[in-house]
Amino acid sequence: MLPSRGHILGALCAALTMVGAASLHAEGTARELIAHVKQGDTETISALAGMSIGLGWANTELESRSMPQLYCQPPNLSLTYQQHLAILEAFVRQDQRALDLPAGFMLLEAMKFTFPCPR
């Protein structure tokens, strides 16, 4: 007997919930991200690139709604993952406690510090 559509959907929802819950706890610290990127870990480099792209899209959405942006990177400036890493490293050097905070949050704070919006 084949599983019903309801069973398949239920199993899929359960699996996605478990994956989502695992990923909520999977974000590493700024210290871990910096170390893994410097070691050339392609998954961490991809994660950094994904965070950077996500922050950029968040800014695009805010701008389209005429809301204040998170940070104000010059529109003609495109950053590589190496440049994002350098921005993050410069930011956490100012306060070593920042190294032990979530990497995505620290990247956002680093971008806000590096590219402040006019008041």
Alpha-carbon torsion 48, 58, 25, 110, what sign?
Answer: positive
The larger pLDDT score, comparing residue 16 to residue 105, is at 105
For 73, the enclosing helix (H) or strand (E) is: none
The larger pLDDT score, comparing residue 49 to residue 26, is at 49
pLDDT band at 25 (very low <50, low <70, confident <90, very high): very low
Question: CA-to-CA distance for 67 and 86, rounded, in angstroms?
Answer: 28
Q: Residue 119's pLDDT is what?
A: 82
